[in-house]
């Protein structure tokens, strides 16, 4: 399903011209594929990463225009990845959208578990 805004963007940008590079970080392969397909349909370049460590390696080489970052991942939480990216002057200005399957991100126990 394509929104009106997305359809307009696709029409304005054109199929051949890629405009933004978006790093998608998620340990769920289906989420990576779905987000990549949707964003590529909107004429964006996508770079998939399966965990936070891979994402940090990618941003050392390529600074994306936007990062879609899963909150709960193995090896390193999305919050820790975000802190590291924002703590680096070279990548601090890159916008990050946190993505989660949690029904209530404000849940104290979940928040505590993600921080430690």
| pLDDT of 111 above 60 | no
How is the chain split into domains, by residue range? Answer: 18-115
All residues at 6 or more sequence positions from 89 whose CB lies less than 8 Å from its CB, including other chains: none
| pLDDT of 104 above 60 | no
| pLDDT of 17 above 70 | no
* Mean pLDDT of all residues belonging to the chain: 83
Each residue of 20-61: pLDDT tens digit?
999 999 999 999 999 999 999 999 999 999 999 999 999 999
Q: Which residue has the tokens 């933004």?
A: 20
Query: In this predicted structure, what is the pLDDT of residue 101?
Result: 73
**Band (1; pLDDT cuts 50, 70, 90):** very low
Token digits of residue 70: 């899963």
Name which CATH class applies to 18-115: alpha beta
pTM confidence score: 0.74
Distance between CA atoms of residues 88 and 105, nearest Å: 26
Please answer whether residues 58 and 25 qualify as being in contact, where contact means their C-beta atoms are separated by less than 8 angstroms.
no
């Amino acid at each position: 399903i394509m929104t009106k805004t997305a359809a307009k963007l696709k029409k304005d940008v054109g199929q051949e011209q890629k405009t933004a590079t978006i790093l998608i970080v998620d340990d769920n392969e289906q989420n990576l594929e779905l987000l990549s397909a949707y964003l590529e349909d909107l004429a964006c370049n996508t770079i998939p990463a399966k965990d936070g460590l891979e994402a940090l390696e990618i941003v050392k080489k390529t600074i994306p225009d936007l990062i879609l970052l899963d909150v709960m991942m193995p090896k390193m939480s999305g919050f820790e990845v975000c802190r590291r990216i924002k703590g680096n002057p070279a990548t601090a200005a890159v916008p990050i959208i946190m993505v989660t399957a949690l029904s209530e991100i404000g849940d104290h126990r979940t928040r505590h578990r993600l921080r430690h």
